[in-house]
Amino acid sequence: MAEVTGGEVVVRTLQAHGIDVVFGLPGVHALAIYDALYAHPELKHIAVRHEQTAAYMADGYARVTGRPGVCISTTGPGAANTAAAMGTAYFDSVPVLNVMSQVPSNLVDRDKGALHEPKDQLGFFRAVTKWNARASDIEHIPAVLHEAFRTMLVERPRPTQVEVCTDHLAGRVDSEAVPWVMPPQSFPRRAAEPRLVEEAARALVSAEAPIIWAGGGVNRAGAWEELVRLAEALQAPVVTTVQGMGAIPHDHPLALGYRPYDRTLTPLIERADLLLAVGTRFAGGQTANWNLKLPSRLIHVEIDEGEIGKNYPAASGLIGDARLVLGQLLTALGGHRAPECWAGDVAALRSKVAGSLKEAGPQEMAVLDDIRRAVDRDAILVWDQTKPAYWAARAFPVYEPRTFLYPGYGTLGYGFPAALGAKVGRPDRQVVCIAGDGGFQYALPELATAAQFGINVTVLLFNDNAYGILKVLQDMDFQSHYYAVDLLNPDFGRLTEAYGLHYELLKGPDGLSPALRRALESDRTTIVEVPVDFGRPTAWPSPPPRAAGKPRRRDRGGS
């Protein structure tokens, strides 16, 4: 009779679900999981310096691979440290599973003052997860973990949390008594109702000027090939949201290339007589807070039923996985090929938008050009909340799916740790993190993680010795009362070298492309520090990152 611990049941169940890497930081209550990891070196564990990083790494890993990212945290404060990252994954619909320990089962939620005792840890995480549960005993562990995976893989991918009490993790049972749950080869995805698909196909064929709106669901579901084929069949231009970037290559003749909220695109969207929206919830940031007018004939393809009709009324809702539903639509369309109706407009609009962007933010756009020129077509770019990132969200050319990682939640400090996770998921790709001096310092100690595990990313560090964007807002909206926005920064070069990593300091944005290329050739994580003074933009990349309710004074331009 072979005995297993609860920790071993966790590890084996993760492995059964295809997990071969986890990110975490141990604590006393979780040590039985770590003991099982010790016995299973084939399940790689990346040890981080802060639990938040573990969850961001799981997020970055999940976004680039399309597979769930798993992090491990320990009871109470360790687990709570992952909250901002879980919230980010929730906002952006990323499948992150957070496996955590709990105090001994006889002490849960009794407020007796046990070590690390959290108040209602399940309730705490309910706010940032789609589904969460505690295993009631060792035998229950496989079923709970399985349900977490099923929820993320079959339904809308959002984070989940599973907790196991420390006595259950350390307890032992006969392996044969454990009701192991083996996942199917692949989880069945939901397809849309055939009658609705037929109806939608008829509407698509009869439309004279259809356009397609591609959201993050296209990237999450791996539906980009179907999307492009459908766009070509309908000759419909495609506009992508920030999370949908890369769903159609930027240089495809039907790619509008820029975000839907771009005012220059508004006339085109308003001229359309049908909008096919795929894998999107029409979030405020993509619709100028729902002020964007959309065609009244809206066909909405969404895995989450609750999103249909929530932000915009839909003439038709096709509930299902984006890849499956687009495939159903293609089948229903047969060999239909619409005549070209927009082609000239797309090219003309693209160059109009590009021109207006260059006028509005010449420095920022020049920096984006330099970055694009230096990296491979399929390089993964991970953006923190630094000034050039707002322009990137509006205008960065993306050619491949799952290569543009941007926290829709607006999370400062996301970039560097998510880039590390992305590199673990796609070691074959260039991975570049673009961060400001403020955001990068959230995860500064993770330079150690990069060094220890040989994770080779490039960090472009835009240093203005400030929370620059907030300084601009204090300037514009609060009579230049600069407060808590100037930063005394360390010597990033000496710091990087102390970790045994590489570093290059530029004089300014000039020479960014060659420096970035040099860094990408490096055999270890390299920081390229770029001193910058972007000043105040002459126009905001819309939607502007402004304080709610503040009047917009667009006329006050100039830096």
Residue numbers at the binding site for Mg ion (CB under 5 A): 436-438, 464, 466, 468
Q: What is the CA radius of gyration of the chain?
A: 24
Indicate which single residue of 163, 400, 464, 529 sits in contact with ligand TPP (rule: CB under 6 A): 464
Compute the least distance from the CB of residue 355 to ligand TPP, in Å. Answer: 25
Which single residue brings its beta carbon nearest to Mg ion?
Answer: 436
> If 0-12 CB within 10 Å is exposed, 13-18 middle and 19+ buried, where does residue 156 land?
buried
Q: Is 412 in the site for ligand TPP (CB under 6 A)?
A: yes
Nearby residues of 112 by Cβ (< 8 Å), 6 or more positions away? none
Q: Rounded to the nearest whole angstrom, what is the least distance from the CB of residue 498 to ligand TPP in the complex?
A: 21
Query: Is the Cβ–Cβ distance between 240 and 247 less than 8 Å?
Result: yes
Binding mask 335-374 for ligand TPP (x = CB under 6 A): ----------------------------------------
Q: How far is CA 521 from CA 100, 211, 327, 463, 529, in A?
A: 38, 41, 40, 23, 16
Q: Are strands 526-531 and 69-73 parallel, antiparallel or unpaired?
A: unpaired
Q: Does 385 bind ligand TPP (CB under 6 A)?
A: yes
Comparing CB distances to ligand TPP, the nearer of 258 and 391 is 391
Instruction: Report how many residues bind ligand TPP under the rule CB under 6 A.
Output: 19
* Length of the chain as a residue count: 559
Residue 216 or 438 having the CB closest to ligand TPP? 438
Nearer to ligand TPP, 216 or 407 (CB): 407
Q: Which residues partner with 504 through β-bridges?
A: 528
Judge contact between 6 and 168, C-beta under 8 A.
yes
Between CA 457 and CA 73 the distance in angstroms is 24
Phi and psi at 200, nearest 5°, equal -65, -40
Comparing CB distances to ligand TPP, the nearer of 385 and 525 is: 385
Residue 291 burial (C-beta neighbours within 10 Å; 0-12, 13-18, 19+)? exposed
Partner in contact with 385, chosen from ligand TPP, Mg ion, none, beta carbon below 5 to 8 Å by kind? ligand TPP
The residue within the footprint of ligand TPP, chosen from 27, 68, 87, 436 (CB under 6 A), is 436
To ligand TPP, the closest distance from the beta carbon of 552 in angstroms equals 18
> Which one of ligand TPP, Mg ion, none is in contact with 212 (Cβ closer than 5 to 8 A by kind)?
none
Minimum CB separation of residue 9 from ligand TPP in Å reads 35
Of the pair 65, 363, the CB lying nearest ligand TPP is at 363
Which CB sits closer to ligand TPP, 219 or 385?
385
Sign of the CA dihedral 316, 317, 322, 327? negative
Shortest reach from residue 485's CB to ligand TPP, in Å: 8
Least CB distance to Mg ion at residue 407 (A): 17
Name which of residues 55 to 84 contact ligand TPP (CB under 6 A).
84
Alpha helix segments (H runs only) across 77-120 = 77-80, 83-91
State both tokens at 520. Answer: 């990408």
- Residues 212, 88: Cα–Cα separation, whole Å: 26
Contact between 97 and 69 under an 8 Å Cβ cutoff? The reply is yes
Question: Does position 413 bind ligand TPP by CB under 6 A?
Answer: yes
Q: Which is nearer to ligand TPP, 24 or 415 (CB)?
A: 415
Question: Rounded to the nearest 10 degrees, how much is the dihedral formed by the CA atoms of 61, 63, 64, 67?
Answer: 70
Binding mask 465-504 for ligand TPP (x = CB under 6 A): -xxxxx----------------------------------
Bridge partners, residue 69, by sequence: 96
Instruction: Output 467 or 540, the one with its CB closest to ligand TPP.
Output: 467
Pairing of strands 69-73, 21-24: parallel
Q: Which residue is nearest to ligand TPP (CB)?
A: 436
Between 404 and 467, whose beta carbon lies closer to Mg ion? 467
Report phi then psi at 488, rounded to 5: -90, 110
Q: Which stretches of the chain bind ligand TPP, using CB under 6 A?
A: 84, 385-387, 410-413, 436-439, 462, 464, 466-470
